[in-house]
Chains A and B, each alone.
Chain A
Amino acid sequence: METYLQFMLLGLGSGVIFAGLALGLVLTYRASGVVNFAHGAIAMYSTYIFSSLVDDGQYPIPPLPNLLSMIEAVLGWFGIQVDLPDIPPFVQLGDPWSWPMALIGALATAGLLGFLFHYLVFRPLRYQPPLSKVVASVGLMLMLQAAIVVRFSNRPRNVAGLLPQDGVDVLGTTVPADRFYLLAAILVATALLYLVFQRTKFGIKTRAAAENEQFATLLGISADRIAAVNWILAGILAGLVGILAAPITGLNPLNMTLFIIPALGAALVARFQSFWIAVWVGLAIGAGQSLLQIMEIRLPWIPDINLSQGLPLVVIAVAMMARGQVLPSRGAIERGRLPMALPTRIRPRLMTFWILFAAAILIWAPFVWRQATINTLIGAVLALSLIVVTGFSGHISLAQLSLAGIAAFMLSSLATDAGWPFPLAPIFAALVATGFGIVIGVPALRVRGASLAIITLAAGVAIEVFLFKSDGWFAGDSTRHVADPSLFGIEFGPNSPFFFGDGKVPSPAFGLFVLFMFTLAFVAVIRLRQSMLGEQMLALRANERAAAAAGVNVTSIKLAAFGIASFLAGIGGTLTAYKFGTFNMASFGVLGSLSVFAFSYLGGIATVSGSLYAGSLFPESIGTLAFEKLFFPLGRYEAYLAGLFLIVTTLVQPEGIDVFDRRERRRIGWGFVLLWRKATGNPDRTKPDWVERIYPEPKHKKGMRPSPPATVDAATTHEDGGS
């Protein structure tokens, strides 16, 4: 019995991190209505700063785009070798710092991060729908995490402990004293926050602004300034929690970033409102995980399957199913709209041209380009899956790559172990992924927006720890082999012989197979967009209640969206597995899912052709290969840049590259048309109708508008996301 108690008390260490992060999550949500997925990353980042200052007296400079290296590369094209200065990775600030100074330095950084998040990202996004905010905070999470990997690598780092660790005897067991100091600290912090929010004028103003920003403005309260102060507070809190608890949990770029998941669970139970509930639940999750760990070891009847890792998912799922739409909405005006889902059609000649072009590259181009094309196409299939679920039906799913992983695993079991023939094995594997996807989609029946992002993220983690990890249900220690696909005696795997070419892996035969599969998926998604089902998904995305009122069966459409998306993800997973010839869980991790989401959003989440842009952003794809050939190798910067571009995209071009490209192309094209008409003396022909549609009227400048009396009310100018 003592052992169990001891483990529960030990678990308070991680519990304090969850509780502290949950506290910060509640704070930022109440201050600005943002669910900050990057909150754990702030803690991680500041802890690295602290550790670097204490150990080496160095302050890491975040990786910045260095235009000079771009110039170096461009000059390199002309054979000119120059060596322009690089931005140094660290600033040396004297000898290793004493810990109080380092703590101040790190917390200042954390506060600054909080402020910058608010000022540069979430303030500009304040009128945008929740999707944009989730995307931006996922981008921040990726970016901070990648920044630390670039600077400090992936290795775990030892952090100097600030709290005494000598044992304390409690109820017959011995527990390190730091657990109790941490517990006391977090409870004091909670009490302070609670008092500030209940008693001080600042607290009342924060609550007022959360309820209705416009009314607050009328009273001279700047919701913006209040949010900024709270963001700074939350940042500092995250930094403090990370630094104090790092000796207990260990520090690497990933673990503290992902502590956000149990913290999100705790914050959800607290409905992102109550500080106390968030903290108690956070502590309970920590203690419960620790308890489950020892029970798995001690009690033979408990299966040894990392149950403790699943606890956050259970908490999140129960909280959501029990409370439905748990996030209270914020009284802010929502003017932004979702990315435009442009109508689409199949253009046979254009498609034939590109297919032949891709086939030509696959057959004749050098090996690196062949490989890049294959990666691009597989990436595009994965992006198509997100286009269906997020772009069309408006549900954020952060678990798509995990679903792809399930299909990849099933493929290795079915095709290699059980010897199923080719078309059956991958189809069945994708169907299994579909099943899992529909299960993940069930919470979507009750929750939307940020809440759904949270639960899918937790599901992705659960799939990783339960199924893929070395002692999980699926993977096992050995690498799982995946046999090359073949049909009627013709092999088309990466190692298959091809009548032409250099004979390197992957073979052109596999490339053509991937091209075929991609084309099928692409046409299928275009058909979906044109179909009634696609229209209903868009209706759902625009306004769920209105869609339901108009006779759309919300439940079945949602599940259909998740099902179709998961099937596509499954196809993407089987293609990945074929490509490697093995099932390797490292290719299907949670961060991978986030990156896939990022790339898909960047490429254009709501248009089918956006998938090709998305595919070109994947690692080792055509786009990245071209960039590396032209400028400099991306290497570890890839994830960092992806995060950065994701944030920039949400801010300046929320529609993604595809819509931007189409619009600009048409604008340029329209310019040529006008020139030509001028030249031929016929300038006054009316514009074709798509000009109005694609290229709306420019914003009206200062001065009065000579129009008939307008009776438009503010409320009716809100546009929905449909097209």
Chain B
Amino acid sequence: MSERVLTIEEMAAGYDNVAVVRDVTMHVDRGEVVALLGPNGAGKTTTLGAISGIVRLFGGSINILGQDVPKLRSAYLVGQWGVVHVPEKRGLFFQLTVEENLKLAPRLESGNTDEAYELFPALKALRNRMAGTLSGGEQQMLALGRGLLAQPDLLMVDEMSLGLAPVIYEELMPLVRKVADETNAAVLLVEQHTDLALAQADRAYVLSHGDLVLQGKASDLLRDRHLIDEAYLGAEALDQDPAVAGSPAADEAEAPGE
């Protein structure tokens, strides 16, 4: 049994007075890669935002390592509990150098950034370049490298494949798996690129229009691709399939690592 890092129960969150996601219940364990899938506007990014405290929570609870998230300041969340959120646009500071960007990694007391360069040797030659001048792939490496320097307990990556050539994200994606295996972090991966994400993930949740419509083991979902397609298109009869959908039994099936 591995430790439960993230537990979300009946969460509703959104902007101003509009709830974007409603009634989301999910969890991520240590050493596990969980994919959060769904079409545009499903509420994936909002969910991540709620977890890292930048989106308002309307109801329900978010719990990280036994701590109630809405009660924590985001600085505390990141520094103390090792929650790293790599946002959609990668969260880099374009006017800072690669080295300076890495130095901003939370929980990096030593200021020693060598680990990131070991993981991504390509960055080493670029260390004094402005982050804004890097290519998309290099930027994603930098964002991941900075996230890993923080030795996260929970790593959330939003749309890693966005704007990248297939050859690059196909190379980067397995790294996420590696992180989960080696550092025993819990990884939550938001992707539109379903197959790619499912290939790396242990489990997956599918959001549509702010509702959790499907969840299950990645291997099951890969086998029954049509379920995801139907979820994307809003078919509602999925609850009847006991193998994957909704039922707690399927949910509890533990399978970290393959």
Contacts and interface: CB of A to CB of B under 8 A. Distances in A.
B52 A702 contact: no
B103 A201 contact: yes
A700 B87 CA distance: 27
B75 A220 contact: yes
A141 to B, nearest CB: 30
Contact of A211 (B17, B41, B87, B95): B95
Interface in A198-241: 201, 204-205, 207-208, 211-212, 214-222
A217 B20 contact: no
Given A215-B91, A219-B91, A702-B59, A710 B20 contact: yes
Interface string A686-723: 00000000000101101111010111111001000000
Contacts of B85: 218
Given A220-B78, A704-B19, A713 B41 contact: yes
A710 B210 contact: yes
Contacts of A218: 52, 54, 74, 78, 85, 87, 91
Contact of B111 (A201, A205, A212, A214): A201
B23 interface: yes
Interface string B65-96: 00000000111111100000101000111111
Contacts of B19: 704-705, 707, 710
Contact of A204 (B16, B22, B78, B100): B100
Contacts of A713: 41
B33 to A, nearest CB: 20
Contact of A208 (B20, B73, B96, B211): B96
A701 to B, nearest CB: 9
Interface residues of B, number: 40
B189 to A, nearest CB: 16
B18 A208 contact: no
B78 A219 contact: yes
B14 interface: yes
A222 B79 CA distance: 11
B149 to A, nearest CB: 11
Contacts of B76: 220
A347 B41 CA distance: 47
A709 B211 contact: yes
B15 to A, nearest CB: 5
Contacts of B176: none
A204 B75 CA distance: 16
A207 B95 contact: yes
A721 B133 CA distance: 35
A204 B103 contact: yes
Given A204-B103, A711-B210, 14 more contacts: A211-B94, A211-B95, A212-B93, A218-B87, A218-B91, A219-B146, A221-B104, A702-B59, A703-B59, A704-B23, A705-B12, A707-B18, A709-B210, A712-B15
9 contacts: A201-B111, A208-B93, A211-B94, A211-B95, A220-B78, A700-B17, A704-B23, A709-B209, A717-B16
Nearest first, the 8 A-B pairs at minimum CB distance are A220-B78, A700-B17, A709-B209, A711-B41, A215-B91, A220-B75, A220-B106, A704-B12
